[in-house]
Structure 1
Amino acid sequence: MITLVLGGDVNVQGRKTPSTAFERLEPLLKGAGLRFVNLEGPLDAVMAEALTSGGIDVVSCANDLTAPATLPVLDRAGIAHCGAGPTLDAAHTPAVLERSGEKVAFLAYTSLRPYGAHLEFPGVAQAFATTAYQPDPRVAEIPGRPPLVRTTPLPEHLDRLVADVKQAKAAHDHVVVSMHWGLPGAELTEYQVAYGRAAIDAGADLVAGHGPHTIQAVEVHRGRPILYSLGNLVFDWPAMRGRHVDGLLAGCMFGDEPRLELIPVRRNADNECVPLAGDEAGKVLRYVADLSARRSTTVTIRDGIASVGVGA
Structure 2
Amino acid sequence: MITLVLGGDVGFPARTTPSAAFERLNPLLDGADLRFVNLEGPVDAAAAEALKATGIDVVSVANDAPHSPPALAVLDQAGIAYCGAGANLEAAHAPAVLERSGRKVAFLAYTSIRAHGQAAQADSPGVAQAFATTAYQPDPRVGEIPGRPPLVRTAPVPEHLARLVADVKRAKAENDHVVVAMHWGLPGPDLAEYQVAYGHAALDAGADLVAGHGPQTIQAVEVYRRRPILYSLGNLLSARPDGLLAGCMFGAEPRLELIPVRRNVGNQCEPLAGDEADKVLRYVAEVSALRSTPVSVQSGIASVPVGA
> TM-score, normalising length from structure 2?
0.96
Do structure 1's residue 13 and structure 2's residue 9 form an aligned pair? Answer: no
Listed one character per residue, the Cα deviations across residues 98-126 of structure 1 (whole Å, up to 9, x for unaligned) are: 001000000000000146x6547633110
The match for 1:287 among 283, 287, 298 is: 283
User: What is the Cα deviation at residue 65 of structure 1?
Assistant: 2.1
Per the alignment, residue 193 of structure 1 pairs with 196
The match for 2:182 among 168, 179, 182 is: 179
Asked whether the equivalents of residues 119 and 128 of structure 2 are also in contact (C-alpha less than 8 Å), the reply is: no
Residue pairs, 1:124-143, within 5 angstroms:
124-143=127-146
The match for 1:272 among 265, 268, 271 is: 268
> 1-side partners of 2:70 and 2:275: how far apart?
43
> 2-side partners of 1:129 and 1:271: how far apart?
34
The match for 2:246 among 231, 250, 257 is: 250
User: What is the Cα deviation at residue 70 of structure 1?
Assistant: 1.6
Residue pairs, 1:18-57, within 5 angstroms:
18-57=18-57
> 2-side partners of 1:62 and 1:47: how far apart?
17
Per the alignment, residue 153 of structure 1 pairs with 156
Asked whether the equivalents of residues 89 and 123 of structure 1 are also in contact (C-alpha less than 8 Å), the reply is: no
Listed one character per residue, the Cα deviations across residues 240-266 of structure 1 (whole Å, up to 9, x for unaligned) are: 2xxx31100000000000000000001
Asked whether the equivalents of residues 292 and 298 of structure 1 are also in contact (C-alpha less than 8 Å), the reply is: yes
With over 3 angstroms needed to count, the CA separation of the structure-2 counterparts of 1:88 and 1:114, relative to structure 1, is closer
Amino acid at match of 1:68: P
Amino acid at match of 2:35: R
SS of 2:278's equivalent? helix
What runs of 5+ residues in structure 1 fail to find an aligned partner?
none
User: What is the Cα deviation at residue 95 of structure 1?
Assistant: 0.2
Do structure 1's residue 221 and structure 2's residue 201 form an aligned pair? Answer: no
Runs of 4 or more, structure 1, over 4 Å off, are: 117-121
Listed one character per residue, the Cα deviations across residues 143-192 of structure 1 (whole Å, up to 9, x for unaligned) are: 00000000000000000000000000000000000000000011000000
Listed one character per residue, the Cα deviations across residues 23-47 of structure 1 (whole Å, up to 9, x for unaligned) are: 0110100000000000001111122
Per the alignment, residue 71 of structure 1 pairs with 72
> 2-side partners of 1:141 and 1:122: how far apart?
51
> 1-side partners of 2:212 and 2:26: how far apart?
22
Asked whether the equivalents of residues 22 and 53 of structure 1 are also in contact (C-alpha less than 8 Å), the reply is: no
Listed one character per residue, the Cα deviations across residues 75-117 of structure 1 (whole Å, up to 9, x for unaligned) are: 00000000000011001000000001000000000000146x6
Amino acid at match of 1:50: A
Asked whether the equivalents of residues 218 and 234 of structure 2 are also in contact (C-alpha less than 8 Å), the reply is: yes
Asked whether the equivalents of residues 119 and 126 of structure 2 are also in contact (C-alpha less than 8 Å), the reply is: no
> 1-side partners of 2:302 and 2:62: how far apart?
29
Per the alignment, residue 102 of structure 2 pairs with 101
User: What is the Cα deviation at residue 67 of structure 1?
Assistant: 3.3
Greater Cα shift, 62-71 or 15-24: 62-71
The match for 1:297 among 283, 287, 293 is: 293
Asked whether the equivalents of residues 18 and 46 of structure 1 are also in contact (C-alpha less than 8 Å), the reply is: yes
What runs of 5+ residues in structure 2 fail to find an aligned partner?
none
> TM-score, normalising length from structure 1?
0.95
Amino acid at match of 2:156: P
> 2-side partners of 1:5 and 1:215: how far apart?
16
SS of 2:50's equivalent? helix
Number of residue pairs matched by the alignment: 304
SS of 1:47's equivalent? helix
Do structure 1's residue 92 and structure 2's residue 88 form an aligned pair? Answer: no
Asked whether the equivalents of residues 90 and 123 of structure 1 are also in contact (C-alpha less than 8 Å), the reply is: no
SS of 1:262's equivalent? strand
> 2-side partners of 1:66 and 1:203: how far apart?
28
Greater Cα shift, 60-69 or 276-285: 60-69
SS of 1:157's equivalent? helix
